[in-house]
Amino acid sequence: MGRAYSTIAFDPAKCDGCGDCMTACAQAKTGTDDIARSRIQIYGRDGAADKTFELALCRQCADPKCVTVCPAGALSKDGTSGVIGWDASKCVDCLLCTVGCSYAGIALDETTGHVSKCDTCDGNPACVPACSKGALKYITTANIYNEVGDWEDLFAPGLAGCQGCNTELLMRHTLRRVGPDTVLATPPGCVPGMGSVGFNGTTGTKVPVFHPLLTNTAAMLAGIKRQYKRVGRDVQALAIAGDGGASDVGFQSLSGAAERGEQMLFMVVDNEGYMNTGMQRSSCTPYGAWTSTTPVGETQRGKTQDAKNLPLIMVNHRCAYVATASTAYMEDLYDKLDKAIAASKTGFAYLHVYSPCTTGWRFPSNLNMEVARKAVETNFVMLWEYTPQDGLHFTKPVDDPLPVTDYLKAMGRFRHLSPEQVEHIQKKVVENQKFVERMTEHAHVG
């Protein structure tokens, strides 16, 4: 697997062309205030005040053309940091690299007569803190994928998920993190549907896996965990369940296992319906959504009830850990996985992951992350975690949410909504946000 590296990101919408970043770079690298010598260059600073700005900066490319074209071998990519370095002792000053780079990331420093380029200041770039507008960011998020990439993917390649399936992404990441000493329960739904448990003697999973009933996942898993505990073996009990089974017909066994504090990690993949069997409504389907059992017709326009808030119900079981998560915020998800795994050593851990469904929600398969992100940015989905010790708190608070229409319009399942229905949804989003906010204030009483 390839590696991901930290990088400097630029937001032209926030840049006002002040040039502070350039000054900071020049100072850090040359000890002067000469912005011509800065390795970061903002273009378009002349002219009208409303002009947009562009950035010339080394992208530290994965497949760097500057390195390829260098005849002297003076440029090389560091496999660990990802930074492309320049070796003065080998450079013949031919400037071919400046031609090879499409981003003007490497240029001639006329003062020295050699090329110069950004080296990210050893992971602490001077330009980023100098930007008071927040147009520059040093992005380190991608690093979690490097660690993840070294762990074994415990699902076989070629599972039969839909194109762009978010659930498959989530499953592969989750099981990587949880590891091979796991017994995995995948109740009927998309997870076994795409071949995790297998067909006619095959299996798509490398850990022991089973297909409980839609109704008894938590109970069956409890029996497994109890027996391993009895014989003194540390085996992780993990469920990857759909929202329908968990919130509807399987809720009794889920609630019972949570009440007894069975030591397991129960993950619900919430794609807001029975998406594997033809996109029928579940109690987690949101108000107004089209499903095959809440169709749009003359007298009814989508689901007429609001979604059941399963993670909040689980909070009221006083589980060892409860959290909501989204694949659009992987670092947050991994953090919560770690906490949930730790909590499942002593009690019931519950992780509720929102999982947009390209097929059932009616949006193009390349927009999965975008839909997932918009859900959070509009507060349609709120990311929080709960423990009995620390109560409930937001992990990605969105104080200034986008209007809910930004989320709804991304999907075909809400295309039919009337203004009144949109208003209802927006009202509910605000109401839910206030409800959870109140819980953050009062959850310490336990």
Partner 1 sequence: MTTATLEKAAAAEAPRKQKVILAEGNEAAALGVALARPDMVSVYPITPQSSLVEHLAKLIADGRMDADIVDAEGEHSVLSVLQGGALAGARTYTATCGPGLAFMFEPYFRTPGMRLPIVLTIVTRDGITPQSVWGGHQDAMTVREAGWIQVYCESVQEVLDTTVMAFKIAEHHDVMLPVNVCLDGNYLSYGASRVEMPDQADVDEFMGEKDVNWHVALDPLRPMAVDPLTGGTTGKGPQTFVRYRKGQCSGMQNALRVIEEVHADWAKRIGRSFAPLVEEYRLDDADFAIMTLGSMTGAAKDAIDEARDAGKKVGLIKIKTFSPFPVEALMKALAKVKALGVIDRSVGFRWNCGPMYQETLGALYRLGRFIPSMSFIGGLAGADITVPHVHRVINETEALLNGAAAPTEPVWLNEKE
Cα angle value 408/409/412 (rounded, 5°): 90
Which one, 204 or 286, has the nearer CB to partner 1? 204
In angstroms, the CA 47 to CA 50 distance is 9
Among 111, 124, 252, 316, binds partner 1 (CB under 8 A): 252
Within positions 130 to 149, which residues make up the interface with partner 1, using CB under 8 A?
A: none
Strand runs labelled E in 259-374: 264-270, 321-326, 348-354
Count of residues in contact with partner 1, rule CB under 8 A: 44
In angstroms, the CA 438 to CA 433 distance is 9
Q: How far is the CB of 274 from partner 1 (least distance, A)?
A: 17
At 325, is the secondary structure helix, strand, or coil?
strand
Burial string for 231-268 (b: 16+ CB within 10 Å, else e) reads eeeebbbbbbbbbbbbbbbbbebbeebbeeebbbbbbb
Q: How far is the CB of 226 from partner 1 (least distance, A)?
A: 5
Q: How far is the CB of 258 from partner 1 (least distance, A)?
A: 10
Q: How far is the CB of 208 from partner 1 (least distance, A)?
A: 4
Which one, 39 or 225, has the nearer CB to partner 1? 225
User: Using CB under 8 A, which of the segments 4-12, 46-54, 190-198, 429-437 binds partner 1?
Assistant: 190-198
Within positions 191 to 250, which residues make up the interface with partner 1, using CB under 8 A?
A: 192, 197-203, 205-213, 215-216, 218-228, 230-231, 235
In angstroms, the CA 446 to CA 434 distance is 20
Burial class (CB in 10 A: 0-12, 13-18, 19+), 212: buried
Alpha-carbon separation of residue 318 from 49, 234, 236, 331, 443 (angstroms): 56, 24, 21, 25, 11
Any contact of residue 157 with partner 1 (CB under 8 A)? no
Q: How far is the CB of 215 from partner 1 (least distance, A)?
A: 6
Among 41, 60, 182, 294, binds partner 1 (CB under 8 A): 182
| List of residues contacting partner 1 (CB under 8 A) | 180-183, 192, 197-203, 205-213, 215-216, 218-228, 230-231, 235, 252-253, 255-257, 259-260
